[in-house]
Amino acid sequence: MRVSAVFRSTVSALCGLALVGCVASPQAPRTSPNAPARPAAVVVPQMPPSAASQAVRLHFARVQADLLSNGLLRTDGGGRDTPFTDRMLAENFIRIALYDEYVRGNAGPVQREAPSRLRRWETPVRVGLRFGASVSPSARATDTARVRSYLARLSRLTGHPIALNDAAPNFYVYIVNEDERRALGPVASAALPGLSAGEVAGITNMPISTYCLVYAMSEGNSGRYTRAFAVIRAEHPDLLRLSCMHEEIAQAMGLANDSPRARPSIFNDDEEFALLTGQDELMLRMLYNPALRTGMAEAEARPIVESLARALMGGES
The pLDDT assigned to 182 comes to: 96
Tens-place pLDDT, residues 107-158: 566 676 788 999 999 999 999 999 999 999 999 999 999 999 999 999 999 9
Instruction: Return the minimum-mean-pLDDT range out of 28-32, 126-130, 234-238, 301-305.
Output: 28-32
Residue ranges covered by each domain of the chain: 5-24+50-313
Q: Is the pLDDT of residue 35 over 80?
A: no
pLDDT (mean) for 198-203: 93
Q: How far apart are CA 142 and CA 136, in angstroms?
A: 10
Q: Is the pLDDT of residue 18 over 50?
A: no
Three-state DSSP at 281 gives helix
Q: What is the residue-wise DSSP string for 189-247?
A: HHHSTT--HHHHHHHHT--TT--EEEEEEESTTS-EEEEEEEEEETTS-HHHHHHHHHH
Q: Is the pLDDT of residue 41 over 60?
A: no
Tens-place pLDDT, residues 243-257: 999 999 999 999 999
To the nearest 10°, the Cα dihedral for 280, 163, 228, 232? 70
Where does the pLDDT of residue 34 fall: very low under 50, low under 70, confident under 90, or very high at 90 and above?
very low
Where does the pLDDT of residue 221 fall: very low under 50, low under 70, confident under 90, or very high at 90 and above?
confident
Q: Which residues have C-beta within 8 Å of that of residue 225, sequence separation ≥ 6?
A: 13, 21, 22, 23, 24, 25, 119, 120, 121, 122, 216, 217, 218, 252, 254
Instruction: Provide the mean pLDDT of the chain.
Output: 86
Tens-place pLDDT, residues 52-109: 999 999 999 999 999 999 999 999 999 999 999 999 999 999 999 999 877 666 656 6
Instruction: Return the minimum-mean-pLDDT range out of 11-20, 92-101, 212-221, 234-243.
Output: 11-20
Tens-place pLDDT, residues 207-219: 999 999 999 988 8
